[in-house]
Amino acid sequence: MSLKNLLSWSKTEFSQLPWRQNRSLYRTLVSEIMLQQTTVGTVKNHFERFLVRFPTLKSLASASEDELLVAWKGLGYYRRARNLKKIAEALAKDHGGEFPHDLEALMEIPGIGPYTANALVGIGMDKRALAVDANLERVIARLLNLKTEKGLKLQKEIQTLFVNKKIFNEKLSFRELNEALMDLGRTYCQARKASCELCPLKKDCLAFKEGTPLSIPMMKGEEKKKAVEHELHLLRVFVMKKDKVLVYQKGEKEWLSGQYEVPTFILSTTDKTLKQYPSFPKGAKADPLFTFKTGITKYKIQNSVLLMGEKEFKALAFANKSEWRSTGDAESNFSTATLKALAKLNASR
């Protein structure tokens, strides 16, 4: 298999990505955790800003959770941020702030699984390792026309072929290989769209030769079910006192765990099993000032904002413990929806 065209294309098109500049294992770790479940475009907008706040492994390890979550804001899936800090703490405490240089030792560190370990070795250290994410799984399955069902079994099959040097046995940069395959899966070789005529590997791709790229990898039950989306209408209650607002901290099993949010109620939802917020009491008055839209996982959210006095709010018997926080404190770790609403409220004053 000739990979020259692939590597050349990747370097020409994507070498400017910020995590591919000023290489270090710490920058590689941060970027790989950020890129899990998040688009490249979103990470580009947050990567350098996060590293300005936490330029070293030590600075991240010693950060408070509030500092961490404020810096992570906009990237979503906040469990990844806590996991990143857990890794930094373990490296600082048990490894003198240094990264082990082999897969087995890396995977002994709490928070580092097979993918992250392979990414650190293959991309961070430029050693022989293959970081099989969804993009690599799809690209390699199509290249080899593998008929194994998508998932752990297919990933193990790909790793076995790689470890036994049945694939990618050429003399090359494994950093460039991993990144090029990721680039290919993100652009020309997508799950539901294959731009084969533009692909630098089309001459080597067995699925392309058979004319069946979109059928590879095979999905469970032969067809991937479309994810169900739900409508959610929330009422955000703002109780203000001078420059302070009444908020509560989200619990460990709640969305946006650790962040502060104004008391919030469900007005309506198509998901009758949702228990993230209480329902707004029947008979209580709700005359919102304005609405705005947000989204999280499978929910399309319409947010209605209501100003309320302390006495009136107490009558709602909101179950979570609330506290006053300054609206001008940049380190308050307010949720994005709370910040958006505060900005609109301030603009309307």
Cβ neighbours of residue 33 under 8 Å, at least 6 residues apart? 80, 81, 83, 84, 87, 116
Cβ neighbours of residue 215 under 8 Å, at least 6 residues apart? 207
Active site residues: 32
Q: What is the DSSP letter of 334?
A: B
Query: Count H helices, E strands: the chain?
Result: 15, 8
Handedness of CA 214, 41, 345, 241 (dihedral sign): positive
**Cα 105 from Cα 111, distance rounded (Å):** 12
Are 126 and 167 a contacting pair, CB within 8 Å? no
Residue 37 to residues 121, 230, 337, Cα–Cα distance (Å): 21, 20, 20
In terms of phi and psi (left: phi > 0; alpha: psi -120 to 50; beta: otherwise), the region of 94 is: alpha
What does the angle CA 72 – CA 77 – CA 81 come to, to the nearest 5 degrees? Answer: 45
